[in-house]
């Protein structure tokens, strides 16, 4: 599982020219599910993200979580995060999970975030989406598994 996590002032996602989701201050999460990913990793990463202290406190230090600031979360599936581009110039997607596993773990991840954050929005799984955001900072992190959740 690979995740791009961005602290945002606001974000929206559109499909076929229609806005399907918007959020204010919070997190934009792009998630790519890979072969071999498990429910354990999805749950671990959801908890980790909700507990990450990446929002500024009254002194401007990153010391507060999305929960602490009552932030909103937008989660977008992005299979291209499972690509590999070590050889050649065309990305390969053989690491991407099959549709059934990807949908299952994506939905589980969303539900785990919803247990911890009041406002959670999503795009449309598998759709061509346009994502607009105002990155706050900018603050961006990459999370991925390394040999299981304990190695994340």
pLDDT tens for the chain, 152 residues long, are 999 999 999 999 999 999 999 999 999 999 999 999 999 999 999 999 999 999 999 999 999 999 999 999 999 999 999 988 888 899 999 999 999 999 999 999 999 999 999 999 999 999 999 999 999 999 999 998 754 444 44
- Active-site residue 22, yes or no? no
Cα dihedral across residues 41, 47, 49, 53: positive or negative = negative
Catalytic residue among 22, 80, 122, 140: 80
CA distances from 1 to 12, 76, 134 (A): 23, 13, 25
Q: Which residue has the tokens 């299952």?
A: 104
Predicted model pTM: 0.92
Q: Which residues pair with 15 in a beta bridge?
A: 18
Among left, alpha and beta (phi > 0; psi -120 to 50; other), residue 148 is left
């Amino acid at each position: 599982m690979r995740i791009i996590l961005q602290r945002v002032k606001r974000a929206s996602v559109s499909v076929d020219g229609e806005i399907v989701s918007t959020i204010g201050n919070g997190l934009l999460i792009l998630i790519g599910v890979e072969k071999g990913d498990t429910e354990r990793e999805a749950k671990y990463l959801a908890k980790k993200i909700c507990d990450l202290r990446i929002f500024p406190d009254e002194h401007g230090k990153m010391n507060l979580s999305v929960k602490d600031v009552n932030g909103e979360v937008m989660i977008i599936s992005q299979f291209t995060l499972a690509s590999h581009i070590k050889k050649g110039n065309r990305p390969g997607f053989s690491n991407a999970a099959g549709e059934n596993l990807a949908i299952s773990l994506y939905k589980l991840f969303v539900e785990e975030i919803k247990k911890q954050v009041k406002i959670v929005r999503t795009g449309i799984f598998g759709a061509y989406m346009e994502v607009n955001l105002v990155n706050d900072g900018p603050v961006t992190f990459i999370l991925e598994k390394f040999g299981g959740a304990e190695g994340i």
